[in-house]
Amino acid sequence: MKQFLKFGAVGILNTLISVVAYNILVLIGLNYIISNISGYTLGVLNSYYWNKNWVFKSGSKRNGLFLKFIAVNVISLGFNTLFLYILVDTLNFHSVISQLIATVIGMIINFVLNKKWAFESKESSSA
């Protein structure tokens, strides 16, 4: 349970970083898709650091961890951006509201893939 709470805390911080960066970039006139990818990338960098060193405490023994983590986040970003595009360009939702909805969808996908694949543990865990 402690690991799950840590993952949630990191997720909140990542989301704040992503949302703030997205909104700043949109406000200065950058395209919402580019803003989304840029904000998401900042959140991913933060996420990797904290998940590797604090949440899952993965040592250097797992060389494929970074590649798995990046793959999970590319998949999550793909879904996030797809839903953002659908909400803004197809359903005409406001870009900020759409980004929040897309972020929730991406977070669910991200958590499941990280837990089941990227940071999988050979030993049984209570998270």
How many CA atoms are closer than 13 Å to the CA of 115, on its beta-carbon side?
16
Find out whether 48 and 86 touch, Cβ atoms under 8 Å: no
User: What does the pLDDT look like over 7-61, one tens digit per residue?
Assistant: 889 989 998 999 999 999 999 999 999 998 999 899 989 998 898 888 877 665 5
The pTM is what?
A: 0.70
Find out whether 17 and 39 touch, Cβ atoms under 8 Å: yes
- The label of the residue with tokens 């919402």 reads 32
User: What does the pLDDT look like over 84-115, one tens digit per residue?
Assistant: 999 999 999 998 899 889 988 888 888 888 87
